[in-house]
């Protein structure tokens, strides 16, 4: 049976789709991987994956087209959630997933959104989630990671650094690994490789 990893946050603009696409790209090297895009209007993840780049390692489908039969043969299923979920939506998502990854940026607004996101999970006794800090700049990510760890919030060790290469990759519909001459793209791609290893450590 496929391992299901969901990417969600009640707040938008926190790197959810970028994380879903690059996690799927990394896991696709470990086993057959399917990315489900639950954003019915924008379908950003499916649009990104449908570029003519030859090095994609995963398949992608709109969530509405998914049936359990279509998961057959896949080792990993990544769900890029619609964004701006309600608290109960995330609880249900976590309960039906092997792992819920909650990306957040280390800034004030995102931290406030993170608290709102975590509260219903904690209240429901959900424990199979990990906070992923993205767009790290300076020491803010380390500070947030340490603060969350002190409060016994499950948080990934890996910090994904901030880089303009991320936005450029999305605009060009390429994975970061395609930027072979861009040092910063390479570094962010390495960060997502580390994220994938942490994810595998939680779902195996």
Q: How far is CA 9 from CA 51, 80, 185, in A?
A: 26, 10, 24
**Range list of β-strands (E), 16-154:** 33-37, 59-62, 76-80, 99-104, 129-136
Q: What is the DSSP letter of 33?
A: E
Query: For every one of its 204 residues, what pLDDT tens digit does the chain have, with 9 covering 90 and above?
Result: 899 999 998 887 889 999 999 999 999 999 999 999 998 777 899 999 999 999 999 999 999 999 988 889 999 999 999 877 777 889 999 999 999 999 999 987 777 788 888 999 999 999 999 999 999 998 899 999 999 999 999 999 999 999 999 999 999 999 999 998 999 999 999 999 999 999 999 998
pLDDT of residue 83: 72
Is 146 within the bounds of a domain?
yes
How many CA atoms are closer than 13 Å to the CA of 97, on its beta-carbon side?
Answer: 29
Is 80 within the bounds of a domain?
yes
CB-based contact 64:40 (threshold 8 Å):
yes
How many domains does the chain fold into?
Answer: 1
Q: Domain range spanning residue 31?
A: 3-199
Question: Which CATH number does the domain housing residue 146 bear?
Answer: 3.40.50.300
pLDDT of residue 80: 95
Is 204 within the bounds of a domain?
no
pLDDT of residue 109: 76
DSSP string, 95-133: HTSSEEEEEE-SSHHHHHHHHHHHHHHHHTT---EEEEE
Is 163 within the bounds of a domain?
yes
- Cα 25 from Cα 176, distance rounded (Å): 10
Is 165 within the bounds of a domain?
yes
Is 111 within the bounds of a domain?
yes
CB-based contact 50:7 (threshold 8 Å):
no
pTM: 0.95
Q: In what order do the strands lie in the sheet with 155-161?
A: 59-62, 33-37, 76-80, 3-7, 99-104, 129-136, 155-161
Residue found by looking up tokens 């690059």 in the block = 22
Is 152 within the bounds of a domain?
yes
pLDDT of residue 43: 81
Is 158 within the bounds of a domain?
yes
- Cα 33 from Cα 60, distance rounded (Å): 9
pLDDT of residue 24: 98
Work out whether the CA dihedral 63, 65, 71, 76 comes out positive or negative.
negative
pLDDT of residue 14: 87
């Amino acid at each position: 049976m496929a391992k299901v990893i969901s990417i969600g946050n009640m707040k938008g603009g926190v790197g959810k789709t970028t994380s879903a696409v690059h996690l799927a790209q990394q896991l696709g090297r470990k086993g057959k991987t399917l990315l489900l895009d639950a954003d019915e209007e924008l379908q950003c993840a499916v649009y990104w994956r449908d570029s003519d780049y030859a090095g994609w390692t995963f398949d992608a489908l709109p969530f509405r087209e998914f049936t359990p039969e279509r998961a057959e043969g896949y080792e990993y299923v990544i769900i890029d959630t619609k964004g701006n979920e309600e608290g109960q939506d995330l609880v249900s998502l976590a309960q039906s997933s092997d792992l819920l990854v909650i990306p957040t940026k280390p800034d004030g607004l995102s931290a406030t959104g993170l608290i709102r996101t975590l509260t219903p999970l904690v209240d429901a006794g959900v424990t199979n989630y990990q906070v992923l800090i993205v767009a790290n700049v300076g020491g803010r990510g380390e500070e947030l990671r340490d603060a969350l760890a002190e409060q016994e919030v499950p948080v990934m060790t890996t910090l994904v650094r901030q880089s303009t290469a991320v936005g450029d990759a999305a605009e060009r519909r390429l994975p970061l690994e395609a930027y072979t001459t861009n040092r910063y793209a390479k570094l962010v791609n390495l960060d997502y490789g580390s994220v994938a290893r942490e994810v595998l450590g939680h779902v195996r």
